[in-house]
């Protein structure tokens, strides 16, 4: 009968059943006690706390049930009387199943030796019938009203036990959630503190970085009045280089702010990577020469193309080359090379300088990250690599830092998607 089938396979009922976490659960003493009590009081060989799932019945408790069912703790619905309690929502009381047309062909008669059966639906306070609490006899027998009443009270205790257990599980889950939330909040606070400390350190470095060129410019201004001719030009050159330095710092700061707020606009077009590499090398050359480094450039012309903002990519590789110069002792080897790779175009900036300790590698692209803890020892603010990473990501690429450790040099590999 279709409406009867619906009661067993009703999605809400099945969801309520699954939520209890009782299906396939290990045996629990309170249910065994109630089932054993029923079997003892009603003098039956078998008692069951049976949950009727979509296509099986699972026995939360099944004292006296023959093997192999005792161990399996479940049968298909072809062997289930209890499903009828779910369908009708009413007690099922049978003296001799072999004589009941509705039950005569139930396989439980032969396989589980169910002859007499009395089952009370396990109905939750929210109205879902989960299964049945039943006693079984292997002989025909009449059930009197008192026996059915006893079974009913014990079934009510089973439902109470199920609901208490559910409430306990919910409370434990809520407690675990609260604990997880507290731990997450603590972790977030800790992270904020780290960022805050880094920011404070950054401000100190920034002040230091701006103070140096500013002092040089102030001295220059004082000298301008007195100097003339070649000396004046020298003062002007010095002041210009200091102003350039400050402008670069301020530009980087503004870029970081703009990129962080998503306000940066890329003007993308098809770009020859060779041109980017050449222009980046050109911006780095003064630093390279000043430190007496060797710069090797290896990039094929008109072979590798990316869809990119040329200026921004020059900024990326210019930054990486500037770092390579800065973090390599005088007379070092610096290289920029590009080739086609699995992910599109690979551009590597490598040096044989001070290297990066393994522990610092994962955080090297974080804002304000500085391996030696800042202080401007080598003249950086700890935002260059953040900018590099953000710009590369805006181009749909990624950047990876590699180093074998202190004094083993560093490599920064940038992967960019190729242009069509
Ligand atoms: P900074 O302004 O300090 O150079 P970056 O974000 O560019 O800031 O770099 C962050 C830190 O990464 C640097 O302070 C430095 O410790 C380390 N680093 C960057 N590039 C290199 C490199 N080529 N070799 C060794 N360390 C590097």
Q: Is 353 in the pocket of ligand 1 (CB under 6 A)?
A: yes
For residue 124, give the H/E element and its range: none
Ligand 1 pocket mutation pick from 291, 364, 373 by most atoms within 8 angstroms of CB: 364
Alpha helices in 117-144 (DSSP H): none
Q: What are the CA-CA distances from residue 191 to residues 130, 155, 181, 200, 390 (Å)?
A: 48, 53, 15, 14, 20
pLDDT of 32 above 50: yes
Q: Can you tell me the distance from the alpha carbon of 288 to that of 412, in angstroms, rounded to the nearest whole number?
A: 17
Both tokens of residue 3? 């409406």
Ligand 1 pocket mutation pick from 319, 335, 362, 370 by most atoms within 8 angstroms of CB: 370
Predicted local distance difference test score (pLDDT) of residue 372: 58
Both tokens of residue 146? 């008192």
Q: What is the side-by-side order of every strand in the sheet holding 344-351?
A: 294-298, 333-341, 344-351, 410-416, 398-402
Residues in the chain: 420
Taking only the tens place, the pLDDT of each residue in 254-271 is 888 888 777 888 999 999
Name the residue at shortest CA distance from atom 14 of ligand 1: 370
Q: Is 399 in the pocket of ligand 1 (CB under 6 A)?
A: no
Which residues touch 99 (CB under 8 Å, ≥6 apart)? Answer: none
For residue 103, give the H/E element and its range: none
Taking only the tens place, the pLDDT of each residue in 316-364 is 999 999 999 999 999 999 999 999 999 899 999 999 999 999 999 988 9
Q: Is 112 in the pocket of ligand 1 (CB under 6 A)?
A: no
Q: Is 235 in the pocket of ligand 1 (CB under 6 A)?
A: no
Q: How many other C-beta atoms can be found within 10 angstroms of the C-beta atom of residue 407?
A: 11
State the average pLDDT over residues 58-70: 95
pLDDT of 414 above 90: yes
Mean pLDDT of the chain: 91
Q: Which atom of ligand 1 is nearest to the CA of 365?
A: 6
Report which of 58, 83, 56, 51 is spatially closest to residue 73, judged by C-alpha positions.
58
State the average pLDDT over residues 13-35: 94
- What is the DSSP annotation of 234-280? HHHHHHHHHHHHHHHHHHHHHHHHHHHTT------EEEEHHHHHHHH
Q: How many other C-beta atoms can be found within 10 angstroms of the C-beta atom of residue 290?
A: 10
Q: Which atom of ligand 1 is nearest to the CA of 319?
A: 7
Q: Is 131 in the pocket of ligand 1 (CB under 6 A)?
A: no
Q: Is 271 in the pocket of ligand 1 (CB under 6 A)?
A: no
Predicted local distance difference test score (pLDDT) of residue 205: 80
Q: Can you tell me the distance from the alpha carbon of 21 to that of 51, in angstroms, rounded to the nearest whole number?
A: 11
Q: Is 327 in the pocket of ligand 1 (CB under 6 A)?
A: yes
Name the residue at shortest CA distance from atom 7 of ligand 1: 384
Both tokens of residue 4? 């009867």
Q: How many other C-beta atoms can be found within 10 angstroms of the C-beta atom of residue 328?
A: 21
Q: How far is the CA of 214 from the centre of ligand 1 (A)?
A: 24
Three-state secondary-structure class, residue 1: coil
């Amino acid at each position: 009968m279709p409406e009867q089938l619906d009661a067993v396979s009703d999605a809400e009922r099945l969801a309520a059943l699954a939520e209890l976490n009782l299906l396939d659960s290990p045996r629990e003493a309170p249910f065994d006690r109630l089932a054993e009590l029923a079997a003892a009081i009603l003098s039956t060989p078998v008692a069951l706390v049976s949950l009727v799932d979509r296509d099986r019945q699972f026995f939360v408790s099944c004292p006296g049930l023959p093997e192999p069912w005792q161990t399996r703790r479940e049968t298909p619905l072809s062997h289930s009387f209890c499903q009828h309690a779910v369908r009708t929502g009413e007690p099922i009381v049978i003296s001799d199943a072999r004589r009941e047309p509705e039950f005569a062909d139930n396989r439980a008669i032969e396989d589980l030796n169910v002859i007499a059966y009395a089952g009370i639906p396990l109905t939750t306070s929210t109205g879902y019938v989960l299964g049945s609490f039943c006693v079984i006899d292997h002989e025909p027998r009449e059930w009197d009203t008192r026996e059915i009443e006893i079974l009913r009270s014990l079934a009510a205790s089973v439902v109470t036990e199920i609901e208490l257990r559910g409430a306990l599980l919910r409370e434990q889950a809520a407690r675990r959630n609260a604990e997880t939330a507290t731990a997450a909040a603590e972790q977030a606070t800790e992270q904020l503190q780290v960022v805050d400390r880094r920011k404070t350190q950054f401000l100190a470095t920034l002040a230091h970085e701006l103070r140096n060129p500013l002092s040089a410019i102030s001295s220059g201004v004082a000298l301008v009045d007195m100097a003339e001719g070649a000396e004046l030009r020298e003062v002007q050159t010095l002041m210009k280089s200091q102003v350039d330095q400050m402008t670069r710092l301020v530009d980087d700061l503004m870029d970081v702010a703009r990129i962080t707020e998503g306000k940066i606009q890329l003007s993308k077009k098809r770009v020859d990577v060779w041109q980017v590499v050449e222009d980046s090398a050109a911006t780095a050359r003064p630093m390279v020469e000043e430190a007496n480094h060797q710069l090797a450039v290896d990039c094929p012309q008109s072979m590798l193309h990316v869809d990119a903002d040329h200026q921004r990519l020059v900024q990326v590789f210019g930054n990486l080359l500037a770092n390579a110069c800065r973090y390599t002792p005088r007379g070092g080897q610096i290289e920029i090379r590009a080739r086609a790779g699995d992910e599109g175009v690979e551009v590597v900036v490598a040096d044989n300088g001070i290297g990066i300790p393994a522990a610092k590698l994962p955080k090297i692209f974080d804002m304000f990250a500085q391996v030696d803890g800042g202080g401007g020892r080598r003249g950086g603010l700890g935002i260059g690599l953040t900018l590099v990473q953000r710009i590369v990501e805006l181009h749909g690429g990624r950047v990876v830092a590699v180093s074998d450790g202190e004094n083993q040099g560093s490599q920064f590999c940038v992967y960019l998607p190729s242009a069509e």
